[in-house]
Structure 1
Amino acid sequence: MMRIMGRPRALVAVVSGVLLLGGLAGCGSGPSQVGSAVIVGDSSVSLDRVQSMIDQAVREQPYGQKLAREHKLDLLGREIVRQTVLHELTERAARKEGLVVDQGKVAALTAQEKSAPVADTGQGDAVAVTQIVSKLRDSNEVAHDVVLEMQLAQKYLPKLSVGADYVGIAATSETDAEARARAFDLAQQFAADPGKIQATIQQAGQEAQQAQQTGMPGPGGFSDAGMTEVFGAAQYLSLAQTPLFGSPANSVVAFQARMPAKPDWYVFVVRSRGTDKAVPADQEAQKPTDQQLTSIGTRLLQPYLTDAGLRVNPRYGVWDVVAMNLAPNSAATQGTVVPMRGAAPAQQ
């Protein structure tokens, strides 16, 4: 069994629990990119709407004023777009899955909402920005979407599994550009020539064993490897929040699987993805927290990107499918998902 997955608690979610945004404006003939901040299917949010929300945040939130002084208002813009996209995907998933929101849970979450301004808790801009954007909206809408995501996760968690081959690539830090480049390159190689996968994984496995014995990485820089492992979401809750569980079979996924515990990059070859039967497991299922359920629900929105027709105005960056978030540019994405040769198009 995969060594990094043998201790699920060591894995930290790639994607944090989400608060989602309502207010998409539909357009029967399909919206135009001109004047739009983001388009999802036949719905869009205008540039003016995003700017209006940013202005409101600066007026009402001291932390928003701090961001303005530090010339970081782009963080607010990206967060508004992110939550917009996730809201629309949640609505699509709820319709397809026939989910009926638990109004009791919505009421309970809404009652927890605090009217006080967002405080600087030292957790960083990302946490504060998420909270600020949620406060710009109706708290009932926020809770409604969060509860739907939790229900989506609860529906699939007991029977969701992924079969995958994998290799680990040693990294010296979270921002090790060389390790990132190697992971992206290997993902492309695996996707373009699946015949290379088995030999590479065998080499990686030998190097990983030697590295354990000597404490030094081998010439290929591999730190871990495995063939045809089956991972059940209920047994590996942290891993279930990552793109491994959101990507289709016959795709190759690269990301930092153990962040922040260890910065190594992993390249997974997704062989199968099942959602309809219990998974034989070598350990007991874990009881998820509400935050874990929300994050897993977010990850289960990933497949809906394929048909969503997502278009993001370049001023807000690019959609990063691995993070289910906006990145400033393609060089800042947290990973990649690539279809193997002859498979369906990649999710972008």
Structure 2
Amino acid sequence: MARAYLDFNATAPVRPEAKAAMIAAMDLVGNPSSVHSEGRAAKAAVEKAREQVAIAVGCKPVEVIFTGGATEAAMVLDRLPGNPGVAVQGTAHDCLWAHRSDSADNASVYAMGLANSETGVIADVPRKVDGAWQVGTQSFEYLLLDVVQAIGRVPFAFGWSGADMALISAHKFGGPKGVGALILRQGIDTAPLTLGGGHEMGRRSGTENVVGIAGFGAAIEAAMSDLEQGKWARVEKLRDTLEAAIVAEAKDTIFVGKDARRLPNTACFAAPGWKGETQVMQLDLAGFAVSAGSACSSGKVKVSRVLQAMGYDDVTASSAIRVSLGPDTTEDEISRFTDAWLARHEKFRARAA
């Protein structure tokens, strides 16, 4: 029986539009920094993608800085003037936590994820009052939004968010791996992410990944088309069907964030005592690709920091798995998955009795 890929939050399959754009870009001989015809052709491919990204995320093309991914883009937190302290949302991705200051009380930057990769929970963007971002009792000069999981799945516009910075990664919506972008509000002065020849408007030196960037632009354009056509509404119904089938037979299952606003494709649930990594391995053998925690922490057997931050105990946090659907996920795949999970859950309960 064919495998079912249910790990879209880790990475999405490359879209046909992205493949076509990358194949075409492979025939571009020139360096985008060269002034001859070949160089200008490569530069045009980069600028076309910059325009595609800007339209998709609601920003100006000049605010799009291509990087090797969202993790690299997060380095901007160490490049702001005066090296201000950074406070980080408790459930944020590890790429933000890596820049957290020891003393968050004196921080002037707040970094957060808009949609959580493990749970799908969508956070509220802080309010800006008298020129400062208000988070609880603290005020911050800058706001950085990690919108990696949100782009193409829920409406978002950098302009209306008011944020100063945002992070994007192409492979989450069907682009190639290893390319992303920092969205940096025009007028904010930062040191370059990398030093060298002054590429990307002086923000990130190094010859641009023309092939990857071309795929990035095509993928984000296609992803926004899916969103506008309402394709994720069908996915949300499949996700709800999955959860209903599980809770009907395994009433002790804990669904994380079920009553919160979530991404339409994400189900995170735990059967306390049944290790998440054990479930992932058993389901993999049964033909299903799912995750326990963030893919960036794969191979590390540890309790989910995200679920701990949400108040779950260690037993529950270590027992959770994430099932994340895509636009092409089928009813048959969901039916087969729930049958497989419930069968293995019954065996787990029998052993635990």
Same-fold call, TM cutoff 0.5 = no
Give the structure-1-normalised TM-score. Answer: 0.26
Q: Which has the higher helix share?
A: 1
